[in-house]
Structure 1
Amino acid sequence: MSDIGIFFTLAAGVLSFFSPCVFPLLPAYITHLTGGKIEDSKLYVNRHLLYLRSFGFIMGFSIIFIALGASATFIGKLLMDYRIIIMQIAGLLIIIFGLQMAGLLNFKFLMREKRIQPEHKSKNMLSSILLGMAFASGWSPCVGLALSSILLLASSSDTLTKGIFLLSAYSLGMAIPFFIISIGISYSLKMMRKINKYLAKLAFINGIIMVVLGFLVLSGQMQKISAWLSAYSLFQL
């Protein structure tokens, strides 16, 4: 699972960041992290603080995501005797979540929102980490579906390391665009308006990626592809 699974989780992390319930909130999170303000469609922020606090925020949500991945894998290992059934159920659920993300299904109970709105601005690095942890804990529907899919994938991993690695890739996928675009909008908010136009299309792409992942897990092709890639890597060496 390590090769193909990492690709899917990394892509899911990137696209989760661009989901309609995360990306538009970026300026609000930045102002809470740095004590900056938005006036006349411009973001006024101390960029040195932005670099440090963004790193703290990323650390915060990565801690939660990786802990969830380790927990999912641990539970999966306890049920190792039922691994085939778990993989089939996981694959089916990932397909359903993917269709929901793509807008091809509309189960209202999957769209219940649990969003944590910070009341106080971040004052130091620790509070930035805690804000990141709060963000990860308060899943919005967009992130929740993608993250749940990756956790289902992690639960079918045969080792704890693989599960942690999968969620580390997911966190990295969210972290890279978060950091780059945070820096970009500190110079101009025009980038936000341009990207906002494509959020629906990106959500559809994310959903389709999850559907493909689900079919691979359900059919057992994920393991075959990973085995083929591993064998090819060894042959190259």
Structure 2
Amino acid sequence: MNDIGIFFAFVGGILSFFSPCVFPLLPAYITHLTGGKIENSRLKLNRSTLYFRSVGFIVGFSLIFIVLGASASFIGKILMNYRVIIMQIAGLLIIIFGLQMAGFLKFKFLMKEKRIYTGRQSKNMFSSILLGMAFASGWSPCVGLALSSILLLASSSETLSEGIFLLATYSLGMAIPFLIITIVISYSLKVMIRINKSLSKLAFINGVLMVMLGFLVLSGQMQKISAWLSAYSLFEF
């Protein structure tokens, strides 16, 4: 398994969660999941219900991301004879996405928003899973750029399982901070105010990482570094 790719997928998932398009909407998603409401800078809700349905939400968006990863890998395997060209195109696109994320480029067509939102409130685990799937299916531009980069990486992976694992790792990167912040803001929203001030910096960091990833893929150094790391790795996926 490509260790560098796994690292970028995991960090990309974390930074996607803290993107300006997703993080500020977290209280709205939480109240929609639980039927709670915001009063005096606090969320009034049943915490056990929140934790239970948050897991459902995570399962929902993870399913969509993993299916996308499998699809990208499958297409990549079909075009295996053109793998070098695909990697070069993927690297170039990832660099462009990274520059857009970091704010160096301002392509409006990359920031078009496609958001699927159901007006129905989540009432159980199943509806929470559906809400997570809707979120992943209609991701906002910030997540779309990072996710597209990981999907491009998955399309150039050698096996189908690698592509699936990359997107599972990306999902895990989003899931961990989602659970942690969900628990924290169920007690107080003040932490959101503090984090909101740093969102632009986090977006810049995400963009820089994506540019680095793009150059590694474009130059072919990604495989060389991964081969070197695999030689010193005790376990290989």
**RMSD across aligned C-alpha pairs, in angstroms?**
1.0
1:87 aligns to 2:87 (yes or no) = yes
Cα distance between partner residues in 2 of 1:82 and 1:30: 44
1:163 offset after TM fit, Å?
0.1
Q: What pairs with 1:1-237 in structure 2 (closer than 5 Å)?
A: 2-233=2-233
1:233 offset after TM fit, Å?
2.0
Cα distance between partner residues in 2 of 1:188 and 1:233: 42
TM-score (norm 2): 0.98
> Cα deviation per residue 1:18-50 (whole Å; 9 max; x = unaligned)?
000100000000001011111222111110001
The residue identity in structure 2 corresponding to 1:25 is L
1:117 offset after TM fit, Å?
2.7
Instruction: Name structure 1 gaps, 5 residues minimum.
Output: none
The residue identity in structure 2 corresponding to 1:193 is I
1:116 offset after TM fit, Å?
2.2
Between the aligned residues of both structures, percent identity stands at: 80
The residue identity in structure 1 corresponding to 2:117 is Q
Cα distance between partner residues in 1 of 2:80 and 2:146: 24
> Cα deviation per residue 1:102-160 (whole Å; 9 max; x = unaligned)?
00000000000012233111001000000000000011000000000000000000100
Cα distance between partner residues in 2 of 1:200 and 1:59: 28
Cα distance between partner residues in 1 of 2:117 and 2:63: 19
SS across alignment from 2:119:
coil
TM-score (norm 1): 0.98
Cα distance between partner residues in 1 of 2:24 and 2:116: 15
SS across alignment from 1:104:
coil
1:234 offset after TM fit, Å?
5.2
Cα distance between partner residues in 1 of 2:127 and 2:232: 46
1:197 offset after TM fit, Å?
0.1
> Cα deviation per residue 1:153-195 (whole Å; 9 max; x = unaligned)?
0000010000000000000000000000001000000011000
